[in-house]
Amino acid sequence: MNDFDKLIDDIEQEAVAEGPGAVAELRALDTRFRLAAELLAARTSAHMTQKELAVRSGVQQAEISKIERGEVVPKVSTMDRLLTPLGHRLAVVEDHDPVAA
């Protein structure tokens, strides 16, 4: 386990110790940044700039930047508009590493 993994583990344990509210808050942050990371990974693997994605998706480049930085949580319809030109789609998947509730 590297230092970052240890930090994440410590944060998860702290949230569990603080109670359900802290766990819910941690899950919300995890979701926000996971969406940001997935969009960024899909865009870069498609060798597309934010500006190119904006043209193809109809979503403003500034909004794409905010999403990729985790500053905003996009609507499902916005994510769909962004992922379609990248050859991706949203999906519900089993959580193999859930934060303890």
Give residue-wise pLDDT tens across range 44-99. Answer: 999 999 999 999 999 999 999 999 998 898 999 999 999 999 999 999 888 776 55
Of residues 38, 39, 65, the one with CA closest to residue 51: 65
pLDDT over threshold 80, residue 2: no
CA 50 to chain centre: 16
Q: What confidence tens digit (pLDDT) does each residue in 8-37 have?
A: 788 889 989 999 998 888 887 887 788 898
pTM above 0.85, yes or no: no
CATH hierarchy code of domain 3-86 = 1.10.260.40
